[in-house]
Amino acid sequence: MPPGAGWGSGSDVRRTPSPAHRPGARHYPSDTSDAEWQVLAPHVPTGRGRPIVYPRRDIVDAIRYLDRTGYQWDALPADLPHPKLVYHYFKAWAADGTLTRMHNSLREQVREHLEGRNRQPSAALIDSQSVRGAETVARTSRGYDAGKKVNGRKRHVAVDTCGLLLAVLVTAAHTPDRDGAKPLLWVLHACSPSVRHVWADSDYAGKVVDWATASQAQRQSLRRWSSTPSSSGWVRRPDAERQHWALEPFVVVGRCEALQDFSQDLQRPT
C-alpha cells in the first residue's frame, strides 16, 4: 500500500538521502540490465535545479522491485532508495505522463523491431475482468459481479494483436461489458486513433456494435466472435488465432502482484 499523508511532500523527500546508497551493485532479479537502462533512460526525467542525490536508475529499480515482489512500500530493502522518495517519483511520473510515454514508446519498439509491424496498430481487441477490491476501495466505486461472484472492480482493457496494452478503463464490477465498451472505445480512439477494427467476444452484444460502427468520431468497426464451452471462452480460428490468444494480458497482470495495488491506489478517490 502507498505511504500515508505523514510521509511529507515531494520537495521534502527529495532532500532526504538514505544512509544505504547503492554503490552500483545490482543483484535483484528486477534490476535493470545495462541494455534495458539504455532503452529506458531517455524517457526518465532528469530533474531540475537541485542536485540529484540518487541516480534515476536506482529509483526505477526500486519501482520495478515493488512491482515484481508485491511488497509494501515501507518494506523496500535498505540498499534501495528510501520508500518516501520512491513513492514520490512513482506518483509524480504517473501524474505527468512519464510512465505512459515510456510504455507507449516501448510498445512501438516491440511492434516495429520484434514483431515486424507498423509502430501504430490498426486493430485491437477488448475484454474485461472483475477483480476483488482492496479494503481501501470506497464502497461508491465498487460493485458486485454476480456472474463471477466478485465484489470489487472491473478492468476493461484494449490490446493490439500482439497482446500489448493500448488502453485501460476501471469501473465497478457490476458494470456490464457492453456498457464499459463505449467509454473504453473513446479512450482507445484518443490513445490510438489509428485503430480501425476492434474484436470482442459475445459479451459485447446489443447496440454497442452498431454505435461503434456508426459513430463518426470513433470510426471503428466492432466485430464479435462466438465462444463455446469447449474452448473456455475462446474460438480458435485459423485466420485469427493470434488475435484470440492475444487476449490473455490478465495472466501477465496476475503474475505482478503489486500491479493490482497500484491500480487500486491510482483509482482511489481523493
The verdict on 161 and 260 lying in the same domain is: yes
The verdict on 130 and 251 lying in the same domain is: yes
- The per-residue pLDDT for 93 is 94
The verdict on 259 and 137 lying in the same domain is: yes
E strand or H helix at 245: helix 241-246
The verdict on 63 and 137 lying in the same domain is: no
Question: Is the model's pLDDT at 212 over the cut of 50?
Answer: yes
User: How many structural domains is the chain composed of?
Assistant: 2
Question: Is the model's pLDDT at 254 over the cut of 60?
Answer: no
The verdict on 76 and 149 lying in the same domain is: no
Question: Is the model's pLDDT at 154 over the cut of 80?
Answer: yes
Question: Is the model's pLDDT at 195 over the cut of 50?
Answer: yes
Mean pLDDT of the chain: 75
The residue among 97, 61, 82 whose CA lies nearest residue 3 is: 82
The CATH number of whichever domain residue 175 belongs to comes to: 3.30.420
252 lies in some domain: yes
- The per-residue pLDDT for 94 is 93
Question: Is the model's pLDDT at 140 over the cut of 90?
Answer: no
Which residue is listed with cell 479512450? 187
- The per-residue pLDDT for 17 is 45
Q: Write the single-letter amino acid at 268.
A: R
Contact 184, 176 (CB under 8 A): no
The verdict on 125 and 42 lying in the same domain is: no
State residue 136 phi and psi, 5-degree precision.
Answer: -80, -10
The verdict on 127 and 176 lying in the same domain is: yes
The verdict on 69 and 165 lying in the same domain is: no
101 lies in some domain: no
Percent of the chain surpassing pLDDT 70? 67
Helices vs strands, H then E, count in the chain: 10, 6
113 lies in some domain: no
The verdict on 125 and 255 lying in the same domain is: yes
Question: Is the model's pLDDT at 220 over the cut of 80?
Answer: no
Q: Residue 65 sits in which domain range? A: 5-96
- Region 215-244: mean pLDDT is 48
85 lies in some domain: yes
111 lies in some domain: no
237 lies in some domain: yes
The verdict on 131 and 260 lying in the same domain is: yes
110 lies in some domain: no
90 lies in some domain: yes
Question: Is the model's pLDDT at 164 over the cut of 50?
Answer: yes
The verdict on 129 and 90 lying in the same domain is: no
- The model carries a pTM of 0.71
